[in-house]
Amino acid sequence: MEPNYYILLGAPGAGKGTQAAMLVLALGIPHVASGDLFREHLSKGTELGLLAKQYMDEGKLVPDDVTVRMVLDRLAQPDCAKGAILDGFPRTIAQAQALERALSANGQRIKAALYIKVSTEELLRRLGGRYTCKNCGAVYHIVFDPPKQPGVCDKCGGPLYQRADDTPETAKKRLDVYFQQTAPLIEYYRQQGLLREIDGEQPIEAVHAALLKVIRGE
């Protein structure tokens, strides 16, 4: 069977990571998040991690060439043979084109670009209260999606922390970068007939149901 590659599109804080974790269970394909891959490199202290940190700390995008190489390497792993849920990648038109080239070289294509739409005001509220697990990358929100025990991951028991780039200043910068460099992908995928829009301001379970409905309608 042809692999199913889904792209989750949306601003920082839209709920891509939260929804991807739920889709992994529903669809049985892995979650490939470029930001998580960079954070893993950083926690291991690799050269790529240290390079990425300089950009991440400022809320800027890591250069396309290193980002594309890292994600394509991940997609070549055996667990991605049936497809993947891409989160945070592509983030530029150049990345989208590189992904398309790599897939089409194997006779593959993107199944759909799922755009989770959320207002800027709500994005800032979400980023400000986001807590992430140091161990497994699971995301929580102090008000909207709290862990059962404060500061402890429900899934693995790991410690929760606030990402350095979720401070109000860096979060605003990341939203600017999103509107300039990533938002054009919405039109790009619309023109290819691949865009599906989902109202991301509903509760987490309702967004999940809306995503599944769109995916199953494909």
Residue 152 DSSP label: B
Whose tokens are 């980002």? That residue is 67
111 carries an active-site annotation: no
Tell me how far apart the alpha carbons of residues 148 and 161 are, in angstroms, rounded to a whole number. Answer: 15
Q: Does 10 contact ligand ADP by CB under 6 A?
A: yes
Residue pair 113/211 in contact by the 8 Å Cβ criterion: no
Q: Does 130 contact ligand ADP by CB under 6 A?
A: yes
Which residue is closest to ligand ADP by CB? 35
Residue pair 207/19 in contact by the 8 Å Cβ criterion: yes
Q: Which of 5, 9, 16, 85 binds ligand ADP (CB under 6 A)?
A: 16
Judge residue 115's burial from the number of C-beta atoms within 10 Å of its C-beta, 0-12 exposed, 13-18 middle, 19 or more buried: buried
Q: Does 158 contact Zn ion by CB under 5 A?
A: yes
- Give least dist CB 10 to ligand ADP, A: 5
Residues lying near Zn ion in the complex (CB under 5 A): 133, 135-136, 138, 153, 155-156, 158
Residues lying near ligand ADP in the complex (CB under 6 A): 10, 12-18, 34-35, 38, 55-56, 59-62, 67, 88-89, 91, 95, 126, 129-130, 139-141, 144-145, 165, 174, 203-204, 207
